[in-house]
Amino acid sequence: MYDSGKIIAGLMVFLVLITSPAWYNVVSGKADYRPDPKLPAEQKECVKSAEYMKAFHMDLLNQWRDAVVRSDKRVYGDIGGRTYDMSLTSTCLSCHANKAEFCDQCHNYLGVKPYCWDCHVEPKEKM
């Protein structure tokens, strides 16, 4: 093989460069970073179970949106017999009042950019 030294050295450099972000995270201690959404202190129960909300909150929000906007239905009843006003701003955000500490935690980690906040007003951060 001609120039094997140069080729292997080049490949090594290439591998190091392409994996450098992973190495950087390991060295700087960010490799085991996990999003940590802060749960509201006062409220323990959400509209649905935490497992359901983690996986399907976006579907639920879409259902609520369609029900309110399209069918003019505003009350959501869950299995436990409780009812909720189907409103992102009045219901969800009344407990999850801090967008940066709750929504953004996972959304930023996963690079998801929901367009809710283009129009819906996020609560003012409590200073």
Binding site for other proteins (CB under 8 A): 65, 69-70, 72, 74, 89-90, 115, 118-121, 123
Q: Please provide residue 13's backbone torsions phi and psi, each rounded to the nearest 5 degrees.
A: -60, -45
For the chain, the straight-line distance linking the first and the last C-alpha, in angstroms and rounded, comes to: 67
Burial of 83 per CB tally in 10 Å (0-12, 13-18, 19+): exposed
CB of 19 to other proteins, least distance (A): 40
Between 46 and 64, name the residue whose CB sits nearer to other proteins.
Answer: 64
Residue pair 101/126 in contact (Cβ under 8 Å)? The answer is no
In terms of DSSP bridges, do strands 75-77 and 83-85 run parallel, antiparallel, or are they unpaired?
antiparallel
CB of 122 to other proteins, least distance (A): 9
CB of 126 to other proteins, least distance (A): 14
Between 17 and 127, name the residue whose CB sits nearer to other proteins.
Answer: 127
Between 94 and 105, name the residue whose CB sits nearer to other proteins.
Answer: 94
CB of 48 to other proteins, least distance (A): 22
